[in-house]
Structure 1
Amino acid sequence: MGKFLAILLVGCAVIAGGGMYYLQVYHYYDEVVSIPGTDVALTPQGSSDAEPVSYDNFQGIDADSSPIRYRACFTTSLSHATLDKTYRSYKPAEPRVAPGWFDCFDASEVGEALESGEAKAYLGTENVQYGIDRVVAIHEDGRGFVWHQINRCGEIVFDGQPAPDDCPTPPEGY
């Protein structure tokens, strides 16, 4: 009887672990339906409203379970010189790891390119959801990457502290 219970317990643990893995890595993610001309936007210097930029080959994933699960990849012909003159840079940009099956987005590679200067990060949309910014990184060769990142105001409010005076007022429930 002891062996049966041990096997049953291990079997349940394996099934539960496999189920949790599947839910976290595959189930919650949905492919972002591309809307040509609107999927990639950057915020111009001196503005707070993002505007679409030219791009091709868009691929994206998102999940309703968390506001920071958004990831996307694209290509663009825009140069760093044009981007630097026109759009707001974003620091510190910290790419978030994507599921392994979304193979166009490698957070380690993007992070290394940002550190070396081969890629530069720009503000996509500030507060795409309260406390969450959409960040766009563009590599010298035209490969682009998008992710959501918690901003300074979000970090403070999500930790249970009141929003600083220079932050927007959080919505009810934060």
Structure 2
Amino acid sequence: MGKLVIIALLVSAALAGAGIWYTNTRAFYDPIEGPVTLTLDGAESLVSIPAQDVTAIASTSSPLGFRACFSHDLTMPEDLAAPRAGVAPTVAPGWFACFDADAIAGLLADGTATAFTGYKNVQYGVDRIVALTADGRGWAWHELNDCGHKAYDGTPVGEACPDRTTFEPLIEGSL
């Protein structure tokens, strides 16, 4: 009888572990079918990035679950948009092999890649960040902006943030 209880506990633990792993790495991510909005938030307007070979995923449970990889033939656009400092790509699921957060962070740290704000408030309080290299590689992910940090920690957001009741998020491919 004791062996059956131990086996049942081990099987239950293995199934629970598999369920947790699946939920964290696969269940809430879907590939984005169709066009992905890849822009740079320039001084006067949005500038479209001429991207090819775009592969992107998004999480159905969080606006921060967006990741994209692409190639481009843009010269480094410092004259189009101001570089954004202090960003760090978030880890993507292991099966999304083109997005290696540690490698991208290394490229940003050594100056091989430059990060830009791609689209402000793609979702309420969330900016799309785009990192580009001079050799034609690019990545995009989402990060909380100041309004997002305030909104989600309970601090009053203030007048600088968009009105949440009338806010309309970006619809992929709509630009």
Shift of 1:139: 1.4
Matched, 1:68 2:64: yes
Match of 2:43 in 1: 45
Match of 2:152 in 1: 158
Q: Deviations over 1:53-90 (max 9, x none)?
A: 2111111111211111100000111122xx10012322
**1:20-35 correspondence to structure 2 within 5 Å:** 20-35=20-35
Q: What percent of counterpart residues are identical? A: 37
Aligned residues of 2:47 and 2:80 also touching (Cα < 8 A): no
Structure 2 residue runs without a partner (length 5+): 167-175
Match of 1:3 in 2: 3
C-alpha RMSD over aligned residues: 1.6
Aligned residues of 2:39 and 2:47 also touching (Cα < 8 A): yes
Match of 2:169 in 1: none
Shift of 1:42: 1.3
Match of 2:170 in 1: none
Equivalent residue of 2:121, what SS? strand
Aligned mates of 1:146, 1:106 — CA distance in 2: 11
**TM-score (normalizing by structure 1):** 0.88
Shift of 1:10: 1.8
Shift of 1:159: 0.6
Aligned mates of 1:171, 1:158 — CA distance in 2: 15
Match of 1:87 in 2: 81
Matched, 1:77 2:73: yes
Aligned mates of 1:88, 1:126 — CA distance in 2: 13
Q: Deviations over 1:28-63 (max 9, x none)?
A: 21111132xx5311111134xx34221111111112
Aligned mates of 1:18, 1:142 — CA distance in 2: 38
Aligned residues of 1:91 and 1:121 also touching (Cα < 8 A): yes
Aligned mates of 1:165, 1:23 — CA distance in 2: 37
Match of 1:111 in 2: 105
**TM-score (normalizing by structure 2):** 0.88
Structure 1 residue runs without a partner (length 5+): none
Among 153, 166, 170, the alignment partner of 2:164 is 170
How many pairs were matched up? Answer: 166
Aligned mates of 1:117, 1:129 — CA distance in 2: 28
Equivalent residue of 1:96, what SS? coil
Q: Deviations over 1:9-36 (max 9, x none)?
A: 121011011011112211221111132x
Report which structure shows greater RCO (CA 8 Å, sep ≥6): 2
Aligned mates of 1:170, 1:143 — CA distance in 2: 35
Letter in 1 for 2:43: Q
